[in-house]
Amino acid sequence: MRCGRARPQSTQGAAMGTTFGDVWQEVLTVQPEPERWIVVGAAVVALLAVVLGPTWRVGRNVVTIAHEGGHALVALLSGRQLTGIRLHSDTSGVTVSRGRPTGPGMMLTVFAGYVAPSVVGLLGILMLMADRITALLWLSILLLALMLVMIRNVYGVISVVATGAVVFGVSWYTEPEVQAAFAYLFIWFLLFAGVRPVLELQSQRVRNPSPHSDADQLARLTGLPGTLWVVIFALVNLGVTGLGVWLLLLR
C-alpha cells in the first residue's frame, strides 16, 4: 500500500478526498518487506555517500541535524531548558541550553551529539525490521518539525525545511518500492555516518585545538582526557553500527 493518497484522477480531487483519518491509517499500515537486493544496495550506496567527499559534504548537513537534535533531546530529558539551535553552512552547529553547568545532566547533553546519528540509525533499523516504513518517514518529519521550532538562524531553517521536504515528497508522492529504498538508504546513511565525524573531530583537535569541542567540554566536566572521549565516541558508534549491520544483513 502506498503512503498518503491513492493514485488520483486529478490533484484537486485527491486533495479533496484525503482526510486525516486516511493519512493516519496509511502511517499505521505495515508495509511489505522489500527485496533483499534493495536493502543491500541501499547499504552500499549509503556507505559510499559517507566515504566519498562530494556526497559527504551534502549529507553532512543531515548528520549535523541529528547531532544537534541529540544534544537538544537529552538536554530536555535531563531537565535543562533548551533555548535554541543553530546550524551553519560549514556543517557545524550549536545547541544552547540553560541549567547547571556541571553534573550528569550537562555531561549527558554534551555526550549525546556524536553518538546521536548512529543511535538514530539503529532505532530506525528496528522500525524497518517491523516493516513500519511509512511510520518511520512520518516520524522523521514530525521530529524535524519539532526541531524547527528551536532553530535560531536562517541557514538552520533552510536545512531542516529542505530535509523535511525531501522526506515528505518521497513519503507522499512515490510508490512503496521507492519509499522502502529511500527509508533504508536514509537509515543506513545515519548508521554509517556516525563514525566519520568522530575521526574529523580528532583531526581538528590535533590541527586546531579548541576548548569548545564536545570531547574537550567532557574533559573539563569529568577530568578525563579529551582524547579518551573521542575513543569512547568511536567505540560506541562502531558498536552500534556493527549491531545494525548484523540485524539487517547477517542475522
Lowest-confidence pick of 5-19, 95-109, 143-157: 5-19
- The rounded percent of the chain whose pLDDT value lies above 90 is 77
pLDDT at 6: 40
Candidates 153, 178, 162, 181; CA nearest to 62 is 162
Which H/E stretch holds residue 159? helix 154-173
Cα gap 26→1, rounded to integer Å: 8
Cell 579529551 -> residue:
226
Cell 547499504 -> residue:
43
- Contact by Cβ (8 Å): 179, 137: yes
How does the average pLDDT of the chain come out, rounded? 89
pLDDT at 15 > cutoff 70: no
Question: How many CA atoms are closer than 13 Å to the CA of 201, on its beta-carbon side?
Answer: 27
Confidence bin at 20 (pLDDT 50/70/90):
low
Give the global pTM: 0.87
pLDDT digits (tens, 9 = 90+) for 79-112: 999 999 999 999 999 999 999 999 999 999 999 9
Three cell numbers, residue 224: 578525563
| Domain locations in the chain as residue ranges | 33-250
pLDDT digits (tens, 9 = 90+) for 163-186: 999 999 999 898 888 999 999 999
- If one compares 249 and 113, the residue with the highest pLDDT of the two is 113
pLDDT digits (tens, 9 = 90+) for 23-57: 666 666 777 788 899 999 999 999 999 999 999 99
Confidence bin at 11 (pLDDT 50/70/90):
very low
pLDDT at 58: 93
Interval 192-212 mean pLDDT: 92
pLDDT at 12: 39
Three cell numbers, residue 35: 527485496
> Which of left, alpha, beta for 199 (phi over 0: left; psi -120 to 50: alpha)?
alpha
